[in-house]
Amino acid sequence: MFEKVLITPHLILNKFFGYSNFREGQLEIVNNILAKKDTLAILPTGGGKSICFQIPALIFGQNKNDPRTTIVISPLISLMKDQVDALNRKGIPACYINSSMSKNKQQEIYKLIESDPTKNENSIKIIYVSPERLKSTKFISVIKKIKIGMLVVDEAHCISQWGSDFRPHYKQIADFYQHINKDIVKVAFTATANKIIQDEICTTLKLTNPFIYLKSFSRNNLFLEVIKCESETIKNLVMLRILDQHSGQTGIIYCATRKATENLVNFLQTFNIFATRYHGAVDKKEKEEIQNSFINGKIKLIIATNAFGMGIDKSDVRFIIHYQIPGNIENYYQEIGRAGRDGKPSNCYSLFYVDDIKIQMSFAQNNKESSVQTKINLQKLQQIYKLFKTKECRTNIILNYFGEATQKRCHNCDNCKEQVFKHKEPKHALLTKVSESEMALIKKLLLQKYMQKKPTTFLTDTEICYLSVIKPNNKIDSMKIPGLGTGWANKWWKTVAPVINTK
């Protein structure tokens, strides 16, 4: 794999990953791992954490005097596969073992793991497994035959009940240490961990005097905006305007429920906007097809639950819309973090309709959870609710939540923009694109058309806005607008159309 040269992090970075320089913090993390220091690294989504453990793994694996294998614990099967496929394409021997594989395939992998690295330079350097695999007697028996150099826990916030994706098996990772050599480096990575979660990760994984790297959670290229919507109809109209503004760009709309993703896809189709839904009940093969099409640019708009995003490496996502309030700040931060990974300006919109809080309340009070977990869920929901309601800098609230104290305004959220530009808040979200003057003009024209009959008796402000923005070309299209049915179209379409289309 390597000629007789000094193997350095920079050499591997260039040879296998094609980069000339490390990103901020990466080399510091790599060097501490190579110095055999237990490490906890908190890097924002898209911060390049994989390189931080893959490079040390290669160096440990290529040590001719004492070659060692790295185990990576990952929560998602799809994430393991994507990482291993990417490594294998670079010529790096890596594998994964999970429950989706046949017994014969697993046996093949075990034989590869057992092969003598001193005689075979293509022996496995990195093994990806789920935390549940660490309990397998077969896996333990194979691992006992080789030397482990590093144990990596990815998405380490899953250890904590305070984390957004608590996985009980993550709590038992330290039990596995008894089956492997003692002189391993223990490393944990996460994108979202406040001080409580950081302490719990270090304690649970038994990290010894760990080096802790905490990169700023601030994402200066993301503009955060919360738009208050008085109804579901207004929320849909605001969403349509946002999509019109970002026409041709790549984006993700996050919903709280599977049903909402399905409904939104159908709703957008009536306005000739193509989108694909993604949630936990989608067939595994279809999920892979959707992910690949999204990464390759064949699909521009995904409507998803929080099942979508982890491990999706796409740099040019230009906008994120939270159609419903997420359950906690961790999920919100991870999801907006999928935008603008290329460093270019990107927008993150949250459509805040207060009734949506009921959905997350029902999730938080799920009877399957313990009373302790229910209390934690409700506290987290209260924190995201405050983030959406605040008039203060939204970025500061997020940073303070993750233990990064700051009082300086970000000038990159709607609240800061209003402070800087003295922006007058519109009466409601509808008027962010259809101005009051436009509304007045439409009403005036309608009033002229219908003489004594006021336009509000047969069209609400919301419906006028829909007509003004969408400009349906015919009676059938007008019937697709929320609130306007067959009866309205038959009675009013011929006379309203000229007013709307000549406005």
Q: What angle do CA 133, 36, 200 make, to 5 degrees?
A: 55
Distances (CA, A) of 441 to 87, 450, 478: 60, 14, 20
Q: How far apart are CA 50 and CA 30, in angstroms?
A: 11
Give the CB-side neighbour count of residue 340, counting CA atoms within 13 A: 20
DSSP codes, 390-419:
-SS-HHHHHHHHTT----S--S-BHHHHHH
Q: How far apart are CA 6 and CA 9, in angstroms?
A: 10
49 CB-contact burial (10 Å; exposed 0-12 / middle 13-18 / buried 19+): buried
pLDDT at 426: 37
Q: What is the DSSP letter of 46?
A: T
pTM: 0.74
Alpha helices in 18-157 (DSSP H): 26-34, 49-61, 77-89, 103-114, 137-143
pLDDT at 292: 86
End-to-end CA distance of the chain: 68
CB 122 within 8 A of CB 50: no
Distances (CA, A) of 231 to 228, 237, 355, 359: 9, 10, 9, 15
CB 382 within 8 A of CB 388: no
pLDDT at 429: 47
CB 85 within 8 A of CB 118: no
Identify which of 341, 456, 300, 423 has the alpha carbon closest to the alpha carbon of residue 45. 341
**Cα-atom radius of gyration of the chain, to the nearest Å?**
26
Distances (CA, A) of 278 to 55, 90, 255, 264: 33, 29, 10, 12
Domains of the chain (ranges plus CATH)? 9-214 (3.40.50.300), 222-427 (3.40.50.300), 434-501 (1.10.150)
pLDDT at 427: 41
Per residue of the chain (503 residues), give pLDDT as tens.
555 556 899 999 999 999 999 998 999 999 999 999 999 999 877 778 899 999 999 999 888 778 899 999 998 777 788 889 889 999 899 999 988 888 899 999 999 898 876 666 668 999 999 999 999 999 999 999 999 999 999 989 888 766 556 778 888 899 999 999 989 999 999 988 888 889 999 999 999 999 999 888 888 899 999 998 877 877 887 888 889 889 999 999 999 999 999 999 998 987 889 999 999 899 888 888 898 899 889 999 999 998 887 767 788 999 999 999 999 998 999 899 999 988 899 999 999 998 999 999 888 887 566 777 788 889 999 999 999 999 999 999 999 888 887 778 888 999 998 655 443 443 444 445 555 665 665 666 555 555 445 444 456 666 777 776 667 777 777 777 766 777 767 766 776 776 666 54
Q: Which long-range contacts (CB under 8 A, 24 or more apart) does 76-81 make?
A: 76/310, 76/311, 77/130, 78/287, 78/288, 78/291, 78/311, 79/154, 79/310, 79/311, 80/128, 80/129, 80/130
Tally of residues, the chain: 503
